[in-house]
Structure 1
Amino acid sequence: MIEALVIRSALNHALENGFSHLHLKSDAQDLIRALNTQEQLKEIYSLLFDIHALAFMFSSISFSYIPRSENAIADSIAKSVNCRLISPLSRWI
């Protein structure tokens, strides 16, 4: 679910910044498969709907799976951001 939220946010950000062509790579293999095959995952149905709606706003868009082992820099950044986001929230739980 978190990866789907991140992809939706990335698409919004790309559109807000005038990008019309996008190639998004992720290590979330099931999510990428669902996006490429229009497969419906009931746990994240509304997020998939949002992502597909945003994807139609691009002139071209593609989603590719990339193993985490081949994307160490992005994985490190994502973990760092995740820690920063979760840490302030833990005070409220």
Structure 2
Amino acid sequence: MDLYTALLNLIQALLSLYGYVLIATAVISWIPDLAETQLGQILSRLTEPYLRPFRRYIPPLPFGGVAFDLSFLVAVVVYFFLEQGVMYVLESVVRTL
């Protein structure tokens, strides 16, 4: 395995890890006691900079007595498309080297 392949694998692993962090943040947010723990706060600090622009433009949808945060769903879908796009571009660049 050459250096470029190793670097691509590392980038892909980090991008995938952040995707899992986004999903974990969603799961923890559904359980109020967990959201206020140190783990919940760490996950929130890691994901809030990415989620903030989506929340600014996509307001929560009222659903009965609760509000559904559609912005999170949009942010996760966009993230996974971006992840795939970034990896496609990086792999294309490495193939030309």
Structure with higher strand content: 1
| Larger relative contact order, structure 1 or 2 (CA cutoff 8 Å, min sep 6) | 1
TM-score (norm 1): 0.30
Which one has a larger percent helix, Structure 1 or Structure 2? 2
